[in-house]
Structure formats: C-alpha cells, structure tokens
Amino acid sequence: MRVGIVDCYVDEPSILGVPPYISPYPRYAYGAVLASGNEPVYATVDDWRNKSSVWESVKKCHLVYIVGGALVPGKYLRTMPASMNEIIQMTQELQGTKIIAGPVARYAYTGRVKQPLEEYFEYIARLDGDALLYDLLTQKSVNGRRRTKKEWEQWAILGARCVQHAHAFPEGVIAEIETYRGCVRWISGGCSFCTDVLFGEPVFREPQAIIQEITEMYNSGLRNFRIGGQTCIYSYMAEGIGETETPRPNVDALSKLFKGIWQSCPCIEVLHLDNANPAVIAEHEAEARAITKLLVEYTTPGNAVAFGMESADPEVIKKNNLNAVPEQVIKAIEILNEYGRKRGANGMPALLPGINILCGLDGETKHTYRLNYEFLADVVRRDLWLRRINIRQVAGVRKEFKMKFKQEFQHFKYLVRTNIDMPNLKKILPERTVMRKIYIEMHEGKHAFGRQIGTYPLLVGFPYRIELNKFVDGIVVGHGARSITCIEYPLDINTCTFDALLSVPGISKHLAGAIMCNRPFRSIEQFATFLAEHMDASMVPAICAFFGFRRGN
C-alpha cells in the first residue's frame, strides 16, 4: 500500500523542521512505513499549496500521515509552516484514512488547538505518530504509544532516504538529528513552562546509531546536518542522571559520536548543534572545556548552542524552577568564548553561545526587565560574544501564564535590539568580513535575502536582487540589529548591475553611471586608473578590493 506522509513543517525548541531544515518526524514515519513493508510517498505542505504532481499521488493514498505544528514560531524566509486552517483544508482533498501527528496533535490535548481534530482525522497521535502509523499498518489497531529504542534506530536509518525528496535537496537542505529525548532535570519537574521534561527519564540514542543514520543520508547525497534534537548537548550520556540536575558530561561518548561522524562522512559541509544547559557547563568546568574544544574541532564554523537562561531575576528563577543562575550563565559564556571565537573559512566564528530570554513567567515584575537588561549589558561590558539573543513571550502549553508587563516587554526588546544586538553583531562580523555560501531565499522589493545553511543562520540582506535558490559569497557592508547587509564578493566589474555598483561604499550614483558607460574594463589596473580620474585617489584601493575581474569579459 502507498502511504502519504505530508510534512507540514514542525518548529519546536529542540526540533527544527521548517526548510531549510527537515525534521526527524517525517523521516521516522517514512522509515516506519518501509519497516511495515509498505511504500511511503513524501510530500510537503508546499506540494499541497502548489498542487504539485506529488500531491496528486498523496491524494490517492489510502492512508495519509500529516505531521506539523510550530510550537515556537520563528522568522521564516523560504516558506511557512502550515497553519491549522491549511491543515484542515488539506484534509478535504484526501480520500484515505488520516492521521495527524507532531506538536499540532499534542496541542490538541492541551487545549491549545481550538478546532476539534476528531472531526477531520481518524487518528490523533498524542505520543509518537510513527509508532501509531506502524501499528496501524501492521496490527490494524492502535492504542497510541512511544516508539521503542530499537524501532527508533531502525526507522531513523530506514527513513534517512526521505531527505532526497526534500525541496532544494541536497545543497539547500539541512537534516535535524536527535541524540536523545527528555531532560536531565525531570527529577525536579524541570522549568515551569517546559514540555520536554514531561517525557520523563531521558532516553539516549547510541553514538553508532546516530552515526549510521547520518551516514545513510550522507550516502544519499546530503552534506548538511544539525545535531539539534536534544535538551543539552553537554548532557549527552552524562554520568549521574537521575541523581543530580547537573550530571557530569561524558567526554568519551561525545568524542566517539563526533569523531565517528567524520570518519564515516569525511566531506560533510555543515555539522552544527543546538541547546546546552549553562549550569551543566559551569558546574563541570574541566569536562565542559574538553567538550567545547572537541565541538570546535569536530563541527563546522558558524555553529551555536542556545543557552536557555530564560531570566536573570532570582525570584523568577526560583518560582519557575529555572535551570541556571546568572553567574553560571556568565561562566558558560566565558568558556565558549575562550575556544569558539576563531573565525572559520565561511566567515563566521567557530562556536558561540546564544541566550534565550523568556518573558511572562511566574513571579515576573517590572524589575525583572531591568535585571535581564543589566545581565546582557554585563555580557557586552565583559567583551563576551553572543551568537544571538532570543527574546520570546512564554507560551502557555504546559500551564497558563499571564503576561502582565506588555509595555515593559516591548521596551526591553527595543533596548536589547538597539544597544546590545547591533554592537554585538559588529564585533562578530566586522565590516568587510567575507561570508561564504549564502543561499538566496527571498526577494522583497528591490532586495534579496539569504542565509548560510546552518544553525540559527544570520539573515543577510543584499540591496539588490540576486537569482533565488543559488549560493553567493558576500562581503559585509552594514549591520542591522539582527541582520547584516552584504554585497556579492567579488563583484564582477563588467557584469554587475547598477544597483550592485551603487551598494559599494564610496561609489556615488554619478560614479556608478560613469562606470556603466565605460565598461568593459580590461583589467583591475585599468579600472583603478579610471576610478582615480573620478575620485580621491587614496580611496581607490579600498573600492577596488570589492571587485573581481572575470577573464574573457
């Protein structure tokens, strides 16, 4: 039987699945269908939106598995996760039995999804949708359950080939990889807002199984991977889990994992990460240093781990049972800065920390915003670099939260974006830094926007249009609060557009026009001579540095 798998793109704190990412959920489902002896047909919500031929195949399937839900919506460039309305509209076109899975199905049980899903779906996967799908295909009856560890490994490996069907495969796709589920803080109930902790005792995948899954995708042609599916990479297979909330990091296990990945897949282009608990890093400095060095060596530049600090207010930390105090977070930031700042071949620092701040938590007062701001200002004062500061309002998934200080929240965001983000970004990526392999994803007005493939990639704007879905190199010419402006590097003197010429610092409208009228130039020297006739000669070398000269023009 052919089984449709419709990827509506998930977005969760520890699982990204909106393109360029492909999340593990549809891949596991793909593997479960193969393991049951049936034939999977992978499609995305964009296939439905565009009425592609793949969607026509899915419509004819007797069983269709839809997975979606954006728990922590981000800013998207290429496409958007499916809305609930879209998912419901989609079901009207399907003839077969329908299963809904992923965060959207889980919200249904928390009251966050208002529509009664039972009206549209025969099955709603409260636990692991892939396990439900497998049971339905093999036993014709289901109760809803978690996949076993053995199934996890088998379906992950079998489902790896699903990535070949992702849009923009292989260069424009990055596969999200899980190393474990659950949080080591489950023993205390974890942070008040967190649903990861409800999984219970963490279940770890063996290094060999993760390596094998990555190798299968690599053999299919994929070169970009993000090991983001865990609550803290430093806690992977740590010692003392169940006894303490800050278990001792397991250097050997991580070493085996990362060295093994490179041994099997020597030509990986992107290997990135996500998520770390700063308290684990701060409390086990020796192991944390060893792991940080390992991660810098065995992952690719532009890498980041997000620290879920959430608040610097001791009262909020206490009331919400948060994971770390400000002193621990500073220590962890220092350790990552010590090893991770070095700039890599793609222009980005090797490995930097990110900070998540959550607003609207229990116990919050106006003073909380001052404390949070002072903490971030202190990071800047200490000349520590942050890859990103993510400020969000808490989502009432696990329980209800009341946002009492909306004005303070907006003002806090404004202050951080203005006084912290931009100076921080200028340090990380100074003007004239060359960034390699920026994938152009969107046009807006006369502008093009793209990102490098990787974890939390920085938004790069070009002040002129560039062909979509292709890679370009860029040189930094300006900074926003959370984005940078680049122009292509090097710009070809004889073929670049008027708008591109105008974007070069130091080239006026008048000079750009004169350059256009005098093209083609036969050499950089001829171009430099021309410039010297039209401007202060001392500026010529700096301007020439932006340009290249393609032989044969």
**Residue from 197, 209, 222, 270 binding ligand SF4 (CB under 6 A):** 197
**Residue from 7, 46, 153, 196 binding ligand SF4 (CB under 6 A):** 196
Q: How far is the CB of 245 from ligand SF4 (least distance, A)?
A: 8
Q: Which is nearer to ligand SF4, 127 or 198 (CB)?
A: 198
Residues 261-280 as x/- pattern, contact with ligand SF4 by CB under 6 A = ----------------x---
Tokens of 471: 């890679």
Q: Which is nearer to ligand SF4, 98 or 106 (CB)?
A: 106
Q: Which is nearer to ligand SF4, 45 or 276 (CB)?
A: 276
Q: Which is nearer to ligand SF4, 45 or 71 (CB)?
A: 71
Q: How far is the CB of 325 from ligand SF4 (least distance, A)?
A: 13
Q: Which span (119-127, 182-190, 473-481, 517-525) binds ligand SF4, by CB under 6 A?
A: 182-190
* Coarse DSSP helix, strand, coil percentages of the chain, rounded to the nearest 5 percent: 40, 25, 35
Q: Which is nearer to ligand SF4, 192 or 346 (CB)?
A: 192
Tokens of 463: 């002040």
Closest CB to ligand SF4: residue number: 190
Contact indicator for 363, 402 with CB cutoff of 8 Å: no
Tokens of 50: 């565009």
214 binds ligand SF4 (CB under 6 A): no
Q: Which span (65-73, 101-109, 194-202, 413-421) binds ligand SF4, by CB under 6 A?
A: 194-202
Q: Which is nearer to ligand SF4, 390 or 483 (CB)?
A: 390
Contact indicator for 106, 70 with CB cutoff of 8 Å: no
Mention every residue, 6+ apart, whose C-beta is less than 8 A from residue 390.
306, 354, 355, 356, 357
Q: How far is the CB of 302 from ligand SF4 (least distance, A)?
A: 23
Q: How far is the CB of 225 from ligand SF4 (least distance, A)?
A: 22
Q: Which is nearer to ligand SF4, 323 or 452 (CB)?
A: 323
Mention every residue, 6+ apart, whose C-beta is less than 8 A from residue 485.
460, 461, 462, 463, 476, 477, 478, 479, 503
Q: Which is nearer to ligand SF4, 224 or 231 (CB)?
A: 231
Q: Which is nearer to ligand SF4, 21 or 180 (CB)?
A: 180
165 binds ligand SF4 (CB under 6 A): no
Q: How far is the CB of 411 from ligand SF4 (least distance, A)?
A: 25
Give the closest residue to 194 by CA, choosing from 445, 429, 395, 4: 395
354 binds ligand SF4 (CB under 6 A): no
**Residue from 183, 238, 352, 386 binding ligand SF4 (CB under 6 A):** 183
Beta strand 15-16 with 2-12: parallel, antiparallel or unpaired?
antiparallel
Residues 215-244 as x/- pattern, contact with ligand SF4 by CB under 6 A = ----------------x-------------
190 binds ligand SF4 (CB under 6 A): yes
Q: How far is the CB of 520 from ligand SF4 (least distance, A)?
A: 58
Mention every residue, 6+ apart, whose C-beta is less than 8 A from residue 123.
97, 98, 99, 100, 132, 136, 142
Q: How many CB atoms lie within 10 A of CB 219?
A: 12
Location of structure tokens 């899915």: 58
Q: How far is the CB of 362 from ligand SF4 (least distance, A)?
A: 14
Backbone angles phi, psi at 8, to 5 degrees: -95, 5
**Residue from 16, 131, 191, 397 binding ligand SF4 (CB under 6 A):** 191
Three-point CA angle 212, 215, 221, nearest 5°: 155
Three-state secondary structure call for residue 136: helix
Q: Which span (46-54, 192-200, 385-393, 521-529) binds ligand SF4, by CB under 6 A?
A: 192-200
User: b/e string for 136-147 if b means 16 or more Cβ within 10 A?
Assistant: bbeeeebeeeeb
Handedness of CA 246, 247, 253, 255 (dihedral sign): positive
What is the rounded distance in angstroms from the CA atom of residue 57 to the CA atom of residue 40? 11
Q: Where are the beta strands (DSSP E) in 445-489?
A: 447-452, 459-462, 471-479, 483-488
Give the closest residue to 395 by CA, choosing from 120, 199, 196: 196
User: b/e string for 394-404 if b means 16 or more Cβ within 10 A?
Assistant: bbebbeebeee
Of residues 521-540, which lie at the interface with ligand SF4 (CB under 6 A)?
Answer: none
308 binds ligand SF4 (CB under 6 A): yes
Tokens of 137: 């295909």
Q: At what angle do helices 251-264 and 207-220 cross, to 10 degrees?
A: 20
**Residue from 147, 165, 185, 451 binding ligand SF4 (CB under 6 A):** 185
Q: Which is nearer to ligand SF4, 197 or 316 (CB)?
A: 197
**Residue from 323, 346, 455, 503 binding ligand SF4 (CB under 6 A):** 323
- For binding to ligand SF4 (CB under 6 A), which residues are involved? 183, 185, 190-191, 194, 196-197, 231, 277, 308, 323
